[in-house]
Chains A and B, each alone.
Chain A
Amino acid sequence: MAKLHEVKGRTLISRAELKTRSVGLLYRVLVVLLLVGTLTAVIPFLWLFVGGLKTPEEVTSVSMTLLPKGSPLSWGWGNYFKAFSMFNILLYFKNTLILIVGVWFFQITTSSLAGYALAKLEVPFSRLFLILFLATLMVPFETIMIPLYLTVKDPPLIKGLLRLMFNPETLENVEILSDFMTKGLLDSYWGIILPASVSAFNIFLFRGFFQSIPSDLIEAARIDGCSELGIFARIVIPLSAPIFAVVTIFSGLATWNSFIWPYLVLDEQAKFPIMVRLYFLFENPETTYNILLATLFLCSIPPIVLFFVFQKQIIRGITLTGLKG
């Protein structure tokens, strides 16, 4: 894979050619076109931000203007504060954060260990497992959405096991158990975290990366008496920081942006992650448009900040994996 930041000696157009009149003109036209292109990418962001500053009348009026009326000082900066406090946005940010940490923890532990086992340990049937893991990549999430929903609602086996372990009275009276018996994992974060932890893609990424670690290194540690988990924690993880970073960033972004599954699983509004809350805000006819736009903007800040901080890793991650944000 080519390095992205490498500056090449030449591209399609050579340096000498740029000085000729026709190619120079072509180049200038290209620059202008691309600059105009970036405007189309950026303008909707401005539209969103400015929309959040308008009054409800301004934002829905037929004779709309681009900017709110009056001087910049009199614009509706208060809308942003209103959006912040009115919907208790921090609660939903917090909910999302819990999910991000939960999904991240389960994803990273299970996928990295599985990737390691498939790459370096001689597990029986490892090829079969690899194929079975990869096969799930071909099944789009939406295809298993319905059976997965039923699984989460009514977890097979576990219910039967609980029935065997406890007598009916305990099952009814202990709250956790009775909740589980009636709703399964519905309306609980586990119903989101556990299915999300299943990621063949991450296993595949980890496996690929771990394969590039020299086996001699691992062998040497084993001879020195290091335990298998010790090898993993002290040798493999430090050597694989880049891949852990990429998986962490993408997992966090994906959880922040996830909508349909949490929307199906959760019922109670106080538990919603931010995107689900946003959808209900949007559906609610009482929401005024300016506050909606302001809230949209606030909800986009965390991923955008994350992007600017980890820009390099994200762009490398995309070119490495072909994965989109």
Chain B
Amino acid sequence: MPALLLFIYFSWIPILRGLWISFQEYSIIGASRFVGLANYEKLLKHPLFWKSWGNTVLYVLFGLAVGYFIPILLAIGVNEMRRLRTYFRISYYLPAILPLVVTAILWKSIYNVDSGLLNYILAKLGLPPGQWLQSLLFGGPILCLIVMATWKGAGATMLIYLAALQGIPETLYEAAEIDGASVWQRVRNITLPQLMPVMVIVLILQVIGTFQIFIEPFIMTNKGGPNNATLTVLLQIYEYAFTYFWLGEAAAMSMMLFIVLLSLTLVYMWITRRFEAEG
């Protein structure tokens, strides 16, 4: 079983090793020694540790506020289209095809204060330019990154909702229309409740995904700037490991992230199982 060997070597051993390292004062060259929970304690006292967790929670909240409903609305709208459906599907999905590195560099140029597309449009409309990624407003740069992530991700999520919409029995709409329900009432009382299981799953997947945001700030705000305003948990882990060479601490922080994600995944599994049981 070649798969088994690869798994043991590149997945299971690293997982256990990560756990082990997190309890050690680890050094690449010299000997390592067991220090118990000292790494965890040290982290709790490190200011950037809290900063990165706080920011990550902010990313999640903004992500839900900005990005959660757009794919639902797009899917409901596109599903109603009598023509051009393939065109809509493809053009909304197109951003997802672009490599993340390319997207990040491209959006950095769109957000550019001097020569970016956004400030160009604002100037044409007679509005003052924005600072975007360099904004000093609380949460401003994070919001910029979230807008980009939404631009990139909404199309793919829309496809998932579209598939779910196709599964809604037409007789429900038929009956509601005969009963005189308006379009809006039908959306509220049929479409949304029918989409509910998928919506819950997408919600959890989105939270899990946002917790792991990394490449966007790595590239767009030069690893978490300005003034650590866009620092995330993963960026901080990366910094601990490959800039400070605090491998033990980095592994400890990875373990904490793992526990958060694991609990989310368990919730996810519990919910999907419940939906399956209900049929």
Contact = CB atoms under 8 A, between A and B. Distances in A.
B179 interface: no
Contacts of B100: 257, 259
B139 interface: no
B251 A282 contact: no
Contacts of A259: 99-101, 215
B145 interface: no
Interface stretch (B49-57, B59-67, B253-261): B253-261
A195 B6 CA distance: 8
Contacts of B159: 315, 318-319
Nearest to A260: B215
B87 interface: yes
Contacts of B11: 136, 139, 144, 198, 200
A19 interface: no
Query: Majority SS of interface residues in chain B?
Result: helix
Interface residues of A, number: 96
Given A4-B163, A110-B6, A129-B4, A38 B106 contact: no
Interface residues of B, number: 93
Interface in A103-143: 106, 109-111, 113-114, 117, 129, 132-133, 136, 138-140, 142-143
Contacts of B241: 145-146, 149
A2 interface: yes
Contacts of A133: 7
Contact of A42 (B76, B91, B183, B218): B91
Contact of A26 (B13, B183, B250, B255): B183
Interface of A: 1-4, 6, 8-14, 17-18, 23, 26-27, 30-31, 33-34, 37-38, 40-45, 47-48, 51, 59-62, 64, 66, 106, 109-111, 113-114, 117, 129, 132-133, 136, 138-140, 142-151, 155-156, 194-195, 197-198, 200, 203, 253, 256-257, 259-260, 264, 275, 278-279, 282, 289, 292-293, 296, 299-300, 303-304, 307, 311, 315, 318-319, 322, 324-325
